[in-house]
Amino acid sequence: MKYSEIMVRYGELSTKGKNRRDFIRQLGKNVRDILTEFEGIEVLAQRDRLHVILNGNDATPVMDAIGKVFGIETYSPVVRLSKDATLEDIQKTALEMINEQYEEGQTFKITTKRQNKDYPLNTYGVDNGVGGYVLDNIEGINVQMKQPDIDLRVDVRLTGIYLSSLTIQGALGLPVGTGGRGTMMLSGGIDSPVAAYMAMKRGVKVDMIHFFSPPYTSQQALAKAKDLTAKLTAFGGTIDFIEVPFTKIQEDIKEKVPEGYLMTIQRRMMLRIAAAITLDRHCNGVFTGESLGQVASQTIESMRVINEVTSLPVLRPLLSLDKTEIIKIARKIDTYDLSIMPFEDCCTIFTPPSPKTKPDLDKTIKFEKNIDVEGLMKMALENLKVTKIHVGDDYLNAQKDVFAELL
């Protein structure tokens, strides 16, 4: 079936007035951003619906992309006929549409709405004309008014006659960008991409902060974090990725801090830097992928000691999820396979065999005096690198190509 557009119904639109306008404008912007790789597509974000005009593009990959965008309740592929299409035109298109979905024994109904009062047939005329034609041409199909298997809608509007029969569930949530801005501490692990997904689901635009420690961590580890970010752009568009050089900090901590406190102080340095970046970018909180009880740094006692370095909210969308629940989401959002690729993260190097699960705040502060907190932070913050990551970017494969050329 050659569809002409995808019609999108807005999600959770409880807000009115200006908020509603912002919601619609932001969703339009996100959808446009996500669909840039398709040539010639037009996105019209109107008051009641958003229309994605295909201009010759195949509907299937476009619908796959739309299905992931937050802020969409449902969507339908639509065939648009001209506003004075004849009953015969409508009948033929309707039959083709139903035939595409029809399985033996299914029922259908035709629901016509007419905004264009000048159209020569009323809703009854269209319903009957099309319904009768379908009955005559598909053997065994029956009409059912209540909960039919196929509900073919004919919308007779001033701009054209629109036919649709499929309604597909969208990703729900709020359009990314309508819920304020935050930063996300993104490692290469399983958890933080899932946490980012959940922050984005509630409309928060997240900037990724990634700490890396060359030469202890590889270029692939960095590329992997960028590719995880690329996966996450599917839900709301382009994302800023901020690399923080962390080698010197880790080396100093390793040299000057007792082993039991390495991890705690390392985490405090990370959070201090993340908080500084957050404020600098006018964001309002730091998201992490922590969940209670998973590892030593993720006890409530440990969180308190790490959290002490900032008054910004540190938001932990996965706090109460079990690992199996997190993995399930990671698979759903297609980050899992990337996350389990075995490149060393900066937190796994220099980790002592038994970090303190209940670090003492006074001792932490005392041991932290062994390092130059301000100087190290300044150096890291002066050497940030920001990359805009777009839908479809692929850093790991790009690297493979470079290596292949060298060989």
Which of Mg ion, ligand ATP, none lies near 257, with the C-beta cut-off 5 to 8 A by kind?
none
114 near ligand ATP (CB under 6 A) = no
**Do 11 and 173 contact (CB within 8 A), yes or no?**
yes
186 binds ligand ATP per the rule CB under 6 A? yes
CA 340 to chain centroid: 20
**Residue of 238, 278, 297, 335 interacting with ligand ATP (CB under 6 A):** 297
Annotated binding-site residue numbers for ATP: 185-186, 210-211, 267, 289, 298
Among 91, 178, 192, 364, binds ligand ATP (CB under 6 A): 192
Please identify which residue in 5, 252, 345, 368 interacts with ligand ATP, judged by CB under 6 A: 345
- Contact between 115 and 158 (Cβ < 8 Å): yes
Q: Which is nearer to ligand ATP, 189 or 359 (CB)?
A: 189
Return d(Cα 284, Cα 279) in angstroms, integer: 7
Residue 295 contact, options Mg ion, ligand ATP, none, Cβ 5-8 Å cut-off depending on partner type: ligand ATP
Please, what is the end-to-end C-alpha distance for the chain in angstroms?
47
Our finding on whether 305 is near ligand ATP (CB under 6 A) is no
Strands 385-389 and 239-245: antiparallel
Q: Say if strands 150-157 and 5-10 run parallel, antiparallel, or are unpaired.
A: unpaired
C-alpha 244/C-alpha 346 separation (Å) is 11
Least distance to ligand ATP from the beta carbon of 61, Å? 30
Using rule CB under 6 A, residue 199 touches ligand ATP: no
Peptide bond into 215 cis (omega under 30): yes
Q: How far is the CB of 86 from ligand ATP (least distance, A)?
A: 59
Nearest residue (CB) to ligand ATP, 113 versus 323: 323
Binding at 356: pick from Mg ion, ligand ATP, none (beta carbon under 5-8 Å per type): none
245 has which bridge partners? 212
111, 151 in Cβ contact below 8 A? yes
The token duo for 259 is 């082993």
**DSSP letter for each residue of 99-145:** HHH--TT-EEEEEEEE--TTSSS-HHHHHHHHHHHHHHHSTT-EE-S
206 binding ligand ATP? (CB under 6 A): no
| E strand segments, 107-245 | 107-114, 142-143, 150-157, 160-164, 168-172, 181-185, 205-212, 239-245
**Alpha carbon distance 210, 390 (integer Å):** 17
Segment interacting with ligand ATP (CB under 6 A) among 127-135, 161-169, 285-293, 397-405 = 285-293
Contact between 347 and ligand ATP (CB under 6 A)?
yes
- Among the candidate windows 3-11, 115-123, 253-261, 287-295, which touches ligand ATP by CB under 6 A? 287-295
Is 294 among the residues that bind ligand ATP (CB under 6 A)?
A: yes
Give me the 207-246 binding string for ligand ATP, x by CB under 6 A, dash otherwise: --xxx-----------------------------------
Residue 259, Cβ neighbours under 10 Å: how many?
14
> Which residue from 346, 376, 380, 389 is in contact with ligand ATP, where contact means CB under 6 A?
346
Neighbour tally for 386: CB within 10 Å: 12
Q: Does 187 bind ligand ATP (CB under 6 A)?
A: yes
Q: Which residues pair with 51 in a beta bridge?
A: 7, 44
294 binds, among Mg ion, ligand ATP, none (CB under 5 to 8 A by kind): ligand ATP
Interacting residue ranges for ligand ATP, rule: CB under 6 A:
185-187, 189-192, 209-211, 288-290, 294-295, 297-298, 345-347
